[in-house]
């Protein structure tokens, strides 16, 4: 197995590209793919202050590393979700990376700041853990970007993640979600700009990237992810990919090139006029935002 570029021994094959790479050219390929995604979708400008949503997993740490290497001013934001050992270990990985790269890590601990964590907050508010967690993460990222003066929040969603979400949305023809499934969302109504620079790289490459770069990441999945529908979609797509490499990339990127535009109107129709939350000031359709309602409910139940 020889590197496509230099013919030296390769360390990884990327079947959808029909190519093998040595360490040096694999890292270069990853950087090139991120650059391509950023340029093609107008995700970042050179002087932008970037906030990376860091979970301690391979994708977000690889993304942070790649952006620093590409010369971006990128700080990390880690949210302490309070999910037992999983949170302890993932926080340790995020801190170790920041220290090794001499990068700035902003930390927000849900329990300290808002008085609840994901397991007890979700229970108290009678929401599925991932739904409470998603709501909390979005709120904290938006607020941290606003308060910290960041231009854009980036997340480590990779090709496998986006293809699985697209698959789910297509299976049920959720046209409103299809209209919102863009790799970059411009800033609007008090929300920061959001972008996903890893959409041209797969899960396996991100794991290999971390190994090659000596980045310690949390390998275990969050224990609350069990039963998540997207895991099944990923498996189904992986089976298709095994017999027909490139299927996943074509499915998602051809959607972006040829079909995504057609659904944008659906998302616009569903978009309500927003006002400032009467409790935290974040944009919301009316009154108190969903996050403040979750917080209030969780605090009452937990205190009782």
Residues at the site binding ligand Q46, with contacts judged by CB under 6 A: 81, 118, 129-130, 133-134, 222, 224-225
Residue (52 or 81) nearer to ligand Q46, CB: 81
Whether 279 contacts 95, CB under 8 Å: no
Residue (14 or 132) nearer to ligand Q46, CB: 132
Residue (219 or 264) nearer to ligand Q46, CB: 219
Instruction: Answer with the entry of Zn ion, ligand Q46, none that 225 interacts with (C-beta below 5 to 8 A by kind).
Output: ligand Q46
> Token digits for 147?
């308060």
Summarize as ranges the residues that interact with Zn ion (CB under 5 A): 3, 5-6, 22, 25, 277, 279-280, 282, 289, 292
Instruction: Answer with the entry of Zn ion, ligand Q46, none that 210 interacts with (C-beta below 5 to 8 A by kind).
Output: none
Output the smallest distance, CB 198 to ligand Q46, in A: 14
Whether 196 contacts 185, CB under 8 Å: no
Residue (101 or 138) nearer to ligand Q46, CB: 138
Residue (143 or 301) nearer to Zn ion, CB: 143
Output the smallest distance, CB 130 to ligand Q46, in A: 3
The C-alpha torsion from 9 through 36 and 148 to 93, rounded to 10°, is -20
Distance CA 32, CA 205 (A): 13
Instruction: Answer with the entry of ligand Q46, Zn ion, none that 171 interacts with (C-beta below 5 to 8 A by kind).
Output: none
Output the smallest distance, CB 208 to Zn ion, in A: 14
Distance CA 96, CA 99 (A): 5
Whether 279 contacts 292, CB under 8 Å: yes
Q: Which residues pair with 12 in a beta bridge?
A: 21
Q: Counting beta carbons within 10 angstroms of the beta carbon of residue 289, is it exposed (0 to 12), middle (13 to 18) or buried (19 or more)? A: buried
Instruction: Answer with the entry of ligand Q46, Zn ion, none that 118 interacts with (C-beta below 5 to 8 A by kind).
Output: ligand Q46
DSSP class of 192: P
Output the smallest distance, CB 288 to Zn ion, in A: 6
Instruction: Answer with the entry of ligand Q46, Zn ion, none that 279 interacts with (C-beta below 5 to 8 A by kind).
Output: Zn ion
Q: Which residues pair with 193 in a beta bridge?
A: 152
Residue (226 or 304) nearer to ligand Q46, CB: 226
Helix, strand, coil shares of the chain, percent, nearest 5, are 55, 15, 30
Residue (29 or 154) nearer to Zn ion, CB: 29
Whether 201 contacts 30, CB under 8 Å: yes
Instruction: Answer with the entry of ligand Q46, Zn ion, none that 25 interacts with (C-beta below 5 to 8 A by kind).
Output: Zn ion
Instruction: Answer with the entry of Zn ion, ligand Q46, none that 224 interacts with (C-beta below 5 to 8 A by kind).
Output: ligand Q46
Output the smallest distance, CB 224 to ligand Q46, in A: 4
Output the smallest distance, CB 281 to Zn ion, in A: 7
Look-up of token digits 């969780």 = 298
Distance CA 66, CA 34 (A): 8
Output the smallest distance, CB 118 to Zn ion, in A: 18
Q: How far is CA 220 from the centre of its chain?
A: 17
């Amino acid at each position: 197995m020889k590197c496509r570029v230099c013919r030296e021994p390769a360390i990884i094959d990327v079947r959808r590209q029909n190519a093998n790479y040595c360490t040096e050219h694999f890292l270069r390929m990853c950087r090139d793919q991120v650059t391509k995604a950023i340029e093609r979708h107008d995700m970042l400008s050179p002087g932008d202050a970037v906030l990376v949503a860091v979970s301690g997993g391979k994708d977000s740490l690889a993304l942070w590393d790649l952006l620093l290497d590409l010369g971006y001013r990128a700080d990390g934001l880690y949210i302490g979700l309070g999910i037992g050992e999983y949170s302890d270990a993932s926080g340790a990985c995020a801190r170790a990376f920041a220290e090794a790269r001499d990068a700035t890590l902003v930390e927000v601990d849900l329990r300290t700041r808002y008085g609840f964590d994901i397991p007890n907050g979700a229970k108290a508010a009678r929401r599925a853990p991932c739904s409470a967690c998603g709501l909390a993460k979005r709120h904290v990222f938006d607020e941290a970007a606003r308060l910290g003066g960041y231009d854009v929040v980036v997340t480590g969603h990779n090709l496998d993640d986006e293809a699985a979400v697209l698959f789910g949305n297509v299976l049920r023809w959720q046209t409103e979600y299809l209209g919102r499934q863009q790799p970059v969302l411009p800033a609007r109504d008090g929300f920061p700009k959001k972008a996903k620079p890893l959409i041209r790289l797969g899960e396996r490459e991100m794991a290999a990237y971390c190994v090659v770069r000596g980045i310690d990441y949390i390998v275990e999945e969050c224990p609350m992810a069990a039963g998540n529908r997207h895991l099944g979609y990923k498996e189904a797509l992986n089976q298709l990919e095994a017999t027909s490499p490139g299927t996943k990339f074509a499915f998602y990127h051809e959607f972006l090139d040829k079909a995504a535009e057609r659904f944008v109107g659906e998302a616009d129709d569903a978009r309500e006029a927003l006002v400032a939350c009467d409790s935290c000031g974040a944009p919301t359709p009316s009154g108190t935002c969903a996050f403040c309602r979750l917080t209030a409910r969780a605090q009452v139940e937990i205190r009782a």
